[in-house]
Structure 1
Amino acid sequence: MSPLVIRDARTEDADEIAGVHVRSWQAAYRGLIDQSVLDGLSITERADGWRRNIADPLPTTLGLLVATRDEQVVAWTSFGSGRDPDGLADGEVYGIYADPSAWSTGAGHALLQAAEQRISDSGYRRAYLWVLDGNERADAFYARHGWVEDGAIKIEERPQLTMSEHRRVKPLR
């Protein structure tokens, strides 16, 4: 297997980031989210959004990193300042997704470590992230990396989609 490279995302990565995003959702959330929603995900629409996000990140964003093998994006993570009213003093991992073909290859591990380091380097002592209820694979991954549930839950409403999530936290220093 070729070496894994972690680097900052570039606008030309948008299509590959979107592809990973869609394929990951379709595999990881099967049975957790309505199948018609998963089937309707569009790589083209996601790519347009990622191009905008990379070119003009939100003020809360600290980074968007990709993991590549053979110059192909196999996973990504975005992170920044906490966005929840009770987590404003913390950093947040907004998302971390690996292409299903890259699951259990170390890509997620490397990205999570890099995101934790960048959040810590930005002065945050703690970080949090949200996990879709029922996503046992993600829960096990985060538990192995020292992230613990803190009891917080949220219901996220999106068009044609309601997601129940629970929060995990980790001290960084």
Structure 2
Amino acid sequence: MIIRPAVPHDARGVAEVHVASWRAAYAGLIDQAVLDAQSVDGRQEMWASWIVRSEAGLPPIGYDVPVHRMLVADDDGVITGWATFGPGRDEGTSGLGELAGLYAHPAAWSTGVGHALVTRAAESLVEDGFDEAFLWVLHGNQRASRFYERHGWIADGTEKTADAGGAKDLRELRHTRRLSDGSA
């Protein structure tokens, strides 16, 4: 397995990971009808555009947010996970890095894919000049919270409500981490 920057050709694999991981990780946390409605084809189109625009230094269409980058875990041509990261997108997060998304295919859970991605994304944020970063975890997603805590991300008590993937009013908990301690 290698961790590398995403290219447009990766969009299908990224979409497959996205949909499979949402369905497995968020079962019981997001309405099942929303999970069932997730479409690999729709996500592929979205991610293809996202990757092309990111490579060009542009934000996603329709968003006024900082440009983020994507890393993929490539296991002999099969995308098994991905991470997106960049400058903080939320109000009041200027100067902070953000791990905006990290997903591994459920078949790759507990294989080191997530560890490799979170480590490389944190290293990239340090290379980009960030000393501290944050991420959001869906309330109730204990598996993700434990994973991030093992990697030094600590819940700081900040919460927000967001819409994503057709789901409304998702309660998310923020985790933060100092990156400049040399253990990215």
TM-score (norm 2): 0.89
Q: Which residue of 148, 154, 163 maps to 1:148?
A: 154
Residue 68 of structure 1 and its aligned partner are, at CA, apart by 1.3
In structure 2, distance between residues paired with 1:10 and 1:129 = 23
Q: Report whether the alignment pairs 1:54 with 2:61.
A: no
For residue 23 of structure 1, what is the aligned residue in structure 2? 20
Q: Which residue of 101, 106, 110 maps to 2:116?
A: 110
Aligned 8 A contact 1:62 1:119 in 2: no
Q: Report whether the alignment pairs 1:126 with 2:132.
A: yes
Q: How many residue pairs align between the two structures? A: 170
Identity %: 44
AA matched with 2:20: R
Give the superposed CA RMSD. Answer: 1.1
In structure 2, distance between residues paired with 1:61 and 1:21 = 20
For residue 11 of structure 1, what is the aligned residue in structure 2? 8
Unaligned runs of 5+ in 1: none
In structure 2, distance between residues paired with 1:134 and 1:13 = 30
Q: Report whether the alignment pairs 1:36 with 2:28.
A: no
Unaligned runs of 5+ in 2: 60-64
Residue 84 of structure 1 and its aligned partner are, at CA, apart by 1.1
Q: Deviations over 1:110-132 (max 9, x none)?
A: 00000001111111110000000
For residue 45 of structure 1, what is the aligned residue in structure 2? 42
In structure 1, distance between residues paired with 2:128 and 2:115 = 20
TM-score (norm 1): 0.95
In structure 2, distance between residues paired with 1:119 and 1:19 = 26
In structure 2, distance between residues paired with 1:29 and 1:160 = 11
Aligned 8 A contact 2:84 2:100 in 1: yes
In structure 1, distance between residues paired with 2:16 and 2:174 = 26
In structure 1, distance between residues paired with 2:156 and 2:95 = 16
Q: What secondary structure is seen at the aligned counterpart in 2 of 1:74?
A: strand
